[in-house]
Amino acid sequence: MKLKPQLDEFTAAKNMAEIEPPLTGQQAQVESERCLYCFDAPCITACPTGIDIPGFIKKIANDNLTGSAKTILEANILGSSCARVCPTSVLCEGACVLLDRDEMPIKIGQLQRHATDHVIENDIQVLKAPEVRSGKKVALIGGGPASMGCAAELVLLGHEAVIYEKSPEAGGLNTYGIAYYKLPPRVSLEEVEMIQKLGVQIECGVEIGKDLSMDELRADFDAIFLGVGLGNTRSLGVPGEDLPEVTEALTFIETFHVSPLHETPVGRHVVVVGCGNTAIDAVTQAKRLGAETATIVYRRGEEDMPAYRFEYELAKKDGCSFLFHVAPVKVLGEGSVSGLRLIRTQLTADGAVEPITGSEFEIPCDMVIKASGQEKRSNFLQSLCPDLSLDRASRLEVDPMTRQTSVAGIYAGGDAVNGGREVVNAVAEGKKAARGMHLEFTGETVEGPLQHTRMGSSRPIGSGFDNPVRVSEAGKS
């Protein structure tokens, strides 16, 4: 059965509207005045880009939105999208000292959005690259958050940066792969435009290794940054996986990022395999786009799922179902998907998953979405440069300070290095790589960002940028 759209234009737009509406001016004022403006604020330590959070909030309280946005964007050039997609409960908001007083944490993400939306909507360019250029030029492969963070920092340090992106638009997952109700693609594209206005050159529709060779880049540029992210979703490895209604989660999500929401084909009974944050994005959006049932199947238990708890709760509120301790055996159907055969699983003493013999059962469905993790791009990376060193998990190995790879002049950051973390981590890694290149080009070390609210402490710079501490890691030895 050929999949078809399920909703009209109005209903689709309503269902996929942002789940967190923007704060009004009055709401932002009231919320900003709740902040204690801590001297050595733990929220700064929990932010991988080291934003001076009390500092930008104080400026909102003083009705200085432009200054607030500058404080944010100096630390995190993708502050607008991160305000929407950061898992704040395990980062800045989860570290808020108000939690120790049994109060609600400051709504840092929404306040950050309030300030950054102000400058973007009013086309206020708060950052400016120096007029005098160094003459050094860097090529960045991939147009995702890591490359954006790196390129912006490079031009602010006086160098030239050219991003090569194979897709029609830059922005990476921010543009194509994040849940629509969290981050509409227009927000990502507005950030791309802001970065271009800084002086970053972006060439879309160019695939390195095909349209341009690595040798050409190394001949024409002083350094190269690899921000290539991860690859395709892992195969299920079961019969029937090649049926037309079986798709990857990111492919499904991309469909309605490049076409109108109400034209998105979706099944009436959708099953998503996997239970990470991307799987949650897929199942909730399938439900919001008109699926009668949307179910996640996962081979482990609820306590083992990689998805954040708040994402899980959101999916349940949307009416999505979960089947734990089951694994797919076969996608059923002749010519089109009619169901999924599953087998119950259990964990062995060492934590491995094993099937339970004789426990197979079937559930009806007409669409299967694969969200069982993405493959590393080791083959692609080594086809570009065979001398690149990878670790046992096929991640690029880099110097932790400069982000330089095992090959001189080649730097890297983002998911290809960290295996798949948040947007904010990718931005921070790209920024560190830019500073590593700057050190190589000029011999100068760049420190910061400066946290004015920590002036007087032993080190009022860097903080979370130097060594971010997630809430789940705090207090652990």
Phi, psi (rounded to 5 degrees) for 362: -125, 145
Considering the chain, tell me which residue range(s) the CATH 1.10.1060.10 domain(s) occupy. 33-126+466-473
Cβ proximity of 380 and 231 under 8 Å: yes
Considering the chain, tell me which residue range(s) the CATH 3.50.50.60 domain(s) occupy. 137-231+375-446, 246-370
Tell me, which fold does domain 246-370 have in CATH?
A: FAD/NAD(P)-binding domain (3.50.50)
- Distances in whole angstroms, Cα of residue 113 to Cα of each of 56, 121, 197, 257, 319: 11, 11, 20, 21, 28
CB proximity list for 59: less than 8 A, separation 6 or greater: 65, 67, 68, 71, 115
| Rounded Cα gap, residues 68 and 70, in angstroms | 5
Structure tokens at 239: 């019969």
CB count in 10 Å sphere of residue 144? 32
Pick the CATH number of 33-126+466-473 from 3.30.1780.10, 3.30.470.10, 1.10.1060.10, 2.30.30.230: 1.10.1060.10
DSSP string, 243-265: STTEEEHHHHHHHHHHS-GGG--
| Rounded Cα gap, residues 169 and 184, in angstroms | 14
Structure tokens at 228: 């290539």
**Secondary structure (3-state) at 422:** coil
pTM (2 decimals)? 0.94
- The terminus-to-terminus CA distance of the chain in angstroms comes to 55
Helix (H) or strand (E) holding 149: helix 145-156
In tens digits, what is the pLDDT along the chain, a chain of 477 residues? 689 999 999 999 999 999 989 999 999 999 999 999 998 899 999 999 999 999 999 999 999 999 999 999 999 999 999 999 999 999 999 999 999 989 999 999 999 999 999 999 999 999 999 999 999 999 999 999 999 999 999 999 999 999 999 999 999 999 999 999 999 999 999 999 999 999 999 999 999 999 999 999 999 999 999 999 999 999 999 999 999 999 999 999 999 999 999 999 999 999 999 999 999 999 999 999 999 999 999 999 999 999 999 999 999 999 999 999 999 999 999 999 999 999 999 999 999 999 999 999 999 999 999 999 999 999 999 999 999 999 999 999 999 999 999 999 999 999 999 999 999 999 999 999 999 999 999 999 998 888 887 777 777 888 899 888 887 766 543
The stretches of 333-449 forming alpha helices (DSSP H) are 378-384, 415-418, 423-442
Question: In CATH terms, is domain 137-231+375-446 a member of 3.20.20.30?
Answer: no
